[in-house]
Structure 1
Amino acid sequence: MSVPQPVPPSWKDLGKSSLDLLGKDFPIGNTFLEVKTTTPSNVVFKVAGHKPTEGAIVGNVEAKYTDRKHGVTFTQGWNNANTLLTNVELDNQIVNGLKIDLNASLHPQSAHSHDAEKAAKEVVKNATLTSTYKMPGLHTRAALNVFKGPTFTADAVFGHDGFLLGTEATYNVSTGAITKYAAGVGFSAPEYAVTLLAGESFTRYSASYYHRVSRDVEAGGQAIFDTHRSSDGVKIEVGTKAYLDSAAFIKAKMSNAGVLSLGYTQALRPGVKAAFGLALDTQKLSGSHAVAAHKVGASFTFEG
């Protein structure tokens, strides 16, 4: 008897385990703050901001309402660049497994033209309609970007007994040409995952792996080669994550450029989390440029 196939990950989530291991929980070079609260009526309010090492503070506020009964989610955000970010999702209502969402970014003060159509394009900077369909063994997505091209992007991932095969292509409606394509293969198991990707029209190649060594230890790595920057060679990064207890963990990663990154995350109490990051350029541990080569950062999250 054949074993029921699980729903494979989406195209953008191929290799996600290793990418999260090497990319998340390293708040380096920035200070982040996020406050999230949930009301009894399923409205989630979030205020977030970060201060980069150089430049002004970037912040945004967001309200998200979910109607679980009808499968509708509405999200409205506003950032300090005076951009309104709107997202509407409809999940499992038309066909089981089908999700439709509309993303749009609006700049209310951008309209300077007296022509109504042109003024509308100045205000609406982005509008993307996306449909996602998933079922056992298949995860597909199709997106239409109305104001960029317009362009149509489609991707699909097929899965069978842990083996994954995925592809993506972008078609420019105005020029009638395929502007970008990619493909990938992988294998995913509960304890480990391996992914090989050829992206950016087969000009950027990456290989990644993830291994849950034990309940408290994870390890992973990735290698990237960009044909447009062949002189840089292959970029390699390896990392690990270790849980100290149920409320804290540490992460470390090292690149072949000699940069050692460390991260420490601590849950101070339910809903309150702090994370600290440090990046050391091991090739510049001494000398006049030693201090400038190293970076620190912190992140604080409050949720209630």
Structure 2
Amino acid sequence: MSLPQPVPPSWKDLGKSSNDLLSRDYYFSGNSLEVKTVTPNNVAFKVSGKQDDKSKAVSGELEAKYTDKAHGVVFTQAWTTANFLRTQIEAENHLAKGLKFDVNAALAATGAGKTALVTTTYKQPGLHTRAFLDLFKGPTFTADTVIGRDGFLLGAEASYNVTEGKVTRYAAAVGFSAPEYAVTLQGLNNLNLISASYYHRVSPDVEAGAKAVYDYKSTTQNVNLEVGAKAYLDNAAFVKAKINNAGILGLGYTQALRPGVKASFGLALDTQRLNEVTPTGPAHKIGAHFVFEG
């Protein structure tokens, strides 16, 4: 008798362990700040701001999220300094168990732009499928499905432009996921972009991963390779390091200063231009990120 199958990850989360290891907690592009609070009636507020290291421009967003756990409804409203309003409504397990509806709309206060994306997600043991309808782009219908059994994963995605009456994008993926490691191979961008990723939890304190991307249509460098690692120094701090085949070395350090207060620092070094200064400034980047949560 086979064991019950877990719900596989969604299409966008295939290779997530490796992607998070190589992309999250690296803050190179200026300074950023997040402040999070939660009220007694389950309204979560988040204020975030970022200063770009090149233009020195400051951008920010104010977000409020209300969660009604009893009825499986989440309502999110956000407003950015670019005068963009975003509204999201999520409802889960209403018509059937594992079924979720999501409406995400955004509108520029100046009327210069608008988006509306309707999403349906259905999750069951061994199956994770989603369907999207982008109302103002096309409209375009996109569907993806991931099936899993005994750790093996198989997924596919396709987009159909309703107005033009043709498939505009398709992709496929295979992988294997276990508690200690994961391997994913994806054919993206109409199978013109091949991405292979690997993640390994070496020990409770050390993680390692790698990702290679091969672009059939690239006119310069067809293969991009990146490897990285993460090590926990203690319960409150960890360091990360990564390097790619272009010689860019990334370093990150995150420290929990106290409960609810976290600081992260990042440094990107171009190892091929250690003493070089570009016309717009140094060839290297540095940044910081602070989170206050209550």
- Using structure 1 for the length normalisation, give the TM-score: 0.94
Partner of 2:15: 15
Q: Is the 8 A contact 2:277 2:283 kept in 1?
A: no
The 5-angstrom pairing of residues 146-295 of structure 1 reads 146-289=135-278, 292-295=282-285
Task: Tell me by how many angstroms 1:278 deviates.
Answer: 0.3
Amino acid of the structure 2 residue aligned with 1:273: K
Residues in 2 aligned to 1:107 and 1:59: alpha-carbon distance in whole angstroms = 15
- Percent of pairs with identical residues: 62
* Distance across 2 between alignment mates of 1:183 and 1:86: 31
| Aligned positions, number | 292
Q: Cα RMSD over matched residues?
A: 1.2
The Cα of 1:93 is off from its aligned counterpart by 1.2
Superposed CA deviations along residues 20-49 of structure 1, whole A, max 9, x for unmatched, are 000000001221100000000000001001
Deviation at 1:286, TM superposition (A): 2.2
CA drift of 1:288 comes to: 4.8
Matches of 2:194 and 2:219, distance apart in 1? 11
Q: CA separation in 1, counterparts of 2:278 and 2:85?
A: 41
Specify the alignment match of 2:293 in structure 1.
303
Q: Which moved more, 1:153-162 or 1:282-291?
A: 282-291
Structure 1 or 2: more strand by fraction: 2
Q: Which amino acid aligns with 2:4?
A: P
- Checking the alignment, whether the CA contact within 8 Å between 2:276 and 2:282 is kept in structure 1 is no
The residue aligned with 2:125 is: 136
Deviation track 1:111-138 (CA, whole Å, cap 9, x = no partner) reads xxxxxxxxxxx66x10111000000000
Shift in alpha-carbon separation, 1:60–1:287, aligned structure 2, 3 A: closer
More helix by share: 1
Q: Aligned partners of 1:28, 1:52: CA distance in 2, in Å?
A: 10
Letter of the 2:253 counterpart: Y
Query: Is 224-233 or 78-87 further displaced after alignment?
Result: 224-233
2:108 and 2:25 map into 1 onto residues whose CA distance is 32
CA distance, structure 2, for counterparts of residue 30 and residue 9 of structure 1: 32
- Looking at structure 2, the residues matched to 142 and 266 of structure 1 have their Cα atoms a distance apart, in angstroms, of 39
CA contact (8 A) 2:186 2:195 kept: yes
Please give the TM-score of this superposition, normalised by the length of structure 2.
0.97
Distance 2:30 2:130 in 1: 33
Structure 2: give runs of 5+ residues left out of the alignment.
Answer: none
5+ long unaligned stretches in structure 1: 111-121
